Chains A and B, each alone.
Chain A
Amino acid sequence: MSYRHAVGTRAYVFEDLRTLLAKATPIRSGDQLAGLAAESAEESVAARMALADVPLATFLHEMIVPYEEDEVTRLIMDTHDAPAFEPVASLTVGSFRDWLLSDEATSARLAAIAPGVTPEMAAAVSKLMRNQDLIAVARRCRVVTRFRNTIGLPGTMAVRLQPNHPADDPRGIAASIADGLAYGCGDAVIGINPVSDNMQVLADLLKMLDELISRLAIPTQGCVLTHVTSSLELINRGVPVDLVFQSVAGTEAANKSFGIDLAILREGLDAGRSLKRGTVGNNVMYFETGQGSALSAGAHHDVDQQTLEARAYAVCRAFEPLLVNTVVGFIGPEYLYDGKQIVRAGLEDHFCGKLMGVPLGCDICYTNHAEADQDDMDTLLTLLGAAGVNYIMGIPGADDVMLNYQSTSFHDQLYIRDVLGLKRAPEFEAWLAAQGITGTGGRLIAPGQALQLLGPLTEMAR
């Protein structure tokens, strides 16, 4: 069906729900590239006004990607939790926004409705929200996950230690890990992006992570971010795999371009859990996402990139992940042009994920061909810290020397802890204190002393 809104004497007509969603999206280059964006500022607001009047229940009847053609749509519809949805079932998108901002929407009530919130509902309401709304509501959504520690508790923020090396050199990687641990990073995961897809290289990296985590008795998990099929093969070969990683997107066709479907993710989940390597929980999946990936694969079904990103979180949600992060500025300026678009997208992604009950972290990042710099990352880091992001990246000096982009650094996470008083995952915080890497109030001791405490690691780097 079509949707309309009149502004003065001008009547705006939107052909269907996906057109309405696309036109209502704050302007970004990827939707312009796809030819889906609003053609004027007024049209965009008219679309938002029309969207505000759409009942939430409409999203359960009008599919934006056909049910018959797309297994992600089928997942969303077939697993929708009607009882959880019931408290907000009579609301429109606009009155849902009002409810979310009201005192009615406590953390407990938000958690209760999460299984009833479809990605399209989350994306729709986010389009009516200003940045401060996205922060205020996300802050109240708590999603707590566990493997060897507890991530997402109120007042905490974890960090993925990302020790990448351009040649997968284990000694170089160990050197970056030592630096990161001395900065108190690594509670979300120690996660390596490998250059290679060679099984022996991947196995060696996983064995190194396993050895250092067990020798130092660190309450955290390791991950080599390789394709789910590679992780399955590694598990079959008896290699110690803590977390099963995969990049995912919001349509079946986009996932196919990544070489995956829901069935293979299910296999990954089952295989990961079969190892029983978690000590305090069994959230074993790690997913990465990012606006623009579906369009990039020509698999976007004429749906705007932010709505598709929220659909990727529906994929994640089905596999009870430990970690999910949007790699927000990685894809380049043809999808998110500048710092303003990256900041907005990071807040939208975090909000939509959290509203849906997904443990969202964020790789706050940009590439050198985007109109952005480290100041924009400081801005988004500060905003996401305020919004209660589950975790961020810790990369030496913010410069990933393998993937060629900039993210947040070991120093940056210290900054945001200082400014907002954010603690680490409690088990990891206790470990740092027990090692003497942190002293009073969780503050770091001098890096030289920390290195002595990490003796086994420096041995491995020799």
Chain B
Amino acid sequence: MIPDEAWRRLSELTPARIALGRTGSGLPTSEAMKFALAHAQARDAVHAPLDPAVLATGLDDLGLAHLTVSSSAVSRHSYLLRPDLGRRLDAAGRNAVAAQRATGGVDLALVIADGLSARAAHTHALPVTAALLPYIRRNGWSLGPVTIVTQGRVAIGDEIGALLGARLVLVMIGERPGLSSPDSLGLYLTFSPEPGRTDGERNCLSNIHGAGMSADEAAFKAVWLMGEAFSRRLTGVSLKDESGAYISVTRDAGRPILPPPPDHSG
């Protein structure tokens, strides 16, 4: 085997930037430019604003009620430097969410937030929501309005969930963009949400993007966790994701084969 061919084969085994070649100690120009472009895209993903209208239209198409609110972080700069502000609604947002509270509360509140990548929310939040709906209906879980949040962090779901009287909140949020994945979405599930919940009290599914976990797989795992959360009345470190036991994965197929939707209605 000629060496270049051997390196090409190795580089097919990983998304890592291997076999780049070198000139002296440095990167060849073409690779240096590719890296610069990937970094530029990740930077742009961090700073691109969320467009709530895009999400609103998609939620209309799914037949879901929704509202759009802001955190207390007034700018991206403030959002990046003050995590505490991104975890709290502003006054208008608090009133708007509280006005949506149904008598007796709801089983589940969905939140879509920009987090560190609005692009992730734009690209993947609606497919995940759409994939969740059949499971939610089948289980008969009542659903509050979907809350779209700008400049939001994960914990803002606690306040929203509490205001809506939700037993469980699912936050779909843009993750810290990597060079190879500027549009990665994370899902955070918190039982009995209220301000002050810690990260140890949440379950997380991450790396939902084109080359990572699919929307269908994420929805399947999320629903498995939701069912466990409702029956065990908790989320967090003591609830391990064992949904994998229900998913068969073959190495070459790449994508898992999902079983029929889990049924937690009983």
A and B pair up:
yes
Interface SS, B side: loop
Assess whether B178 is in contact with A374, with CB atoms less than 8 Å apart: no
* B178 and A404 within 8 A (CB): yes
- Closest chain A residue to B84, Cβ basis: A33
Q: What band does the interface of chain B fall in when counting residues whose beta carbon is under 8 Å from A?
A: 35 or more
Distance between Cα atoms of A173 and B18 in the complex (Å): 11
Q: A419 to B17: give the CA distance in the assembly, Å.
A: 24
Contacting residue for A368 out of B27, B82, B178, CB 8 A: B178
A404-B184, A418-B25 known; A165-B7 Cβ under 8 A: no
| Complex partner residue of A334 from B6, B31, B83, CB under 8 angstroms | B83
A169 interface residue per 8 A CB criterion: yes
Contacting residue for A337 out of B14, B24, B81, B179, CB 8 A: B81
Q: Which of A368, A373, A397, A458 contacts B31 (CB 8 A)?
A: A397
Interface string of B14-28 (1 = CB under 8 A from A): 111111111011110
A449 proximity list for chain B (CB < 8 A): 3
Residue of A nearest to B240 (CB): A197
Q: Does B116 contact A (CB under 8 A)?
A: yes
In the complex, residue of chain A having the shortest beta-carbon distance to the beta carbon of B22? A411
A174 to chain B, nearest CB (A): 8
A interface residues (Cβ-Cβ under 8 A, vs B):
29, 32-33, 163-166, 169, 171-176, 178-179, 332-334, 337, 367-369, 373-374, 395-401, 403-406, 409, 411, 414-415, 417-418, 446-449, 451-452, 458, 461
- Closest residue of chain B to A179 (Cβ to Cβ) is B18
Q: Which residues of A contact B230 (CB under 8 A)?
A: none
State A372–B36 Cα separation when bound (angstroms): 13
B33-85 contacts to A, CB under 8 A, are 35, 38-39, 42-43, 45-46, 80-83
In the bound assembly, the distance between CA atoms of A421 and B89 in angstroms comes to 55
Determine the distance from Cα of A401 to Cα of B27 in the docked complex, in whole angstroms. 18
Residues of B within 8 A of A400 (CB): 178
Given A179-B18, A448-B4, A399 and B35 contact (CB-CB distance below 8 Å): yes
The 8 closest A-B pairs by CB, nearest first: A448-B3, A397-B17, A404-B178, A172-B14, A414-B25, A179-B18, A368-B42, A175-B10
Tell me, rounded to whole Å, the shortest Cβ–Cβ distance linking A370 to chain B: 8
Q: Say yes or no: is B11 at the interface (Cβ < 8 Å to chain A).
A: yes
Within 8 A of A (CB), among B193-218: 207, 212
- Decide: A176 and B14 in contact? CB cutoff 8 A: yes
Contacts of B100 in A (CB 8 A): none
Chain B residues 135-180 with CB under 8 Å of chain A are 175-180
The smallest C-beta distance from A436 to any residue of chain B, in angstroms, reads 14
CA of A171 to CA of B13, assembled, Å: 6
Q: A33-B81, A399-B180 are in contact. Are A414 and B22 (CB under 8 A)?
A: yes
Asked if B25 and A397 make an inter-chain contact with CB atoms under 8 angstroms apart, the answer reads no
- Given contacts A165-B14, A404-B184, 20 further A-B pairs with CB under 8 A are A33-B82, A172-B14, A176-B16, A176-B18, A179-B18, A368-B42, A368-B178, A369-B116, A373-B39, A397-B18, A398-B35, A400-B178, A405-B178, A417-B25, A447-B3, A447-B22, A448-B2, A449-B3, A458-B6, A461-B10
- Interface pair A404/B10, CB less than 8 Å apart: no
Q: In whole angstroms, how far apart are the Cα atoms of A8 and B154 in the complex?
A: 48
CB pair A397–B42 under 8 Å, yes or no, is: no
Return chain B residues, CB-CB under 8 Å to A415.
Answer: 25-26
Residues of chain B with a CB closer than 8 A to A166's CB: 15, 207, 212
B235 within 8 A of A: no
Within the complex, what minimum Cβ distance (angstroms) separates A330 from chain B? 10
**Separation in Å of the A42 CB from the closest CB of chain B?**
23
* Complex Cα gap A417–B22 (Å): 15
Indicate if the CB atoms of A369 and B176 lie closer than 8 Å: yes
Q: Decide yes or no whether B190 CB sits under 8 A from chain A.
A: no
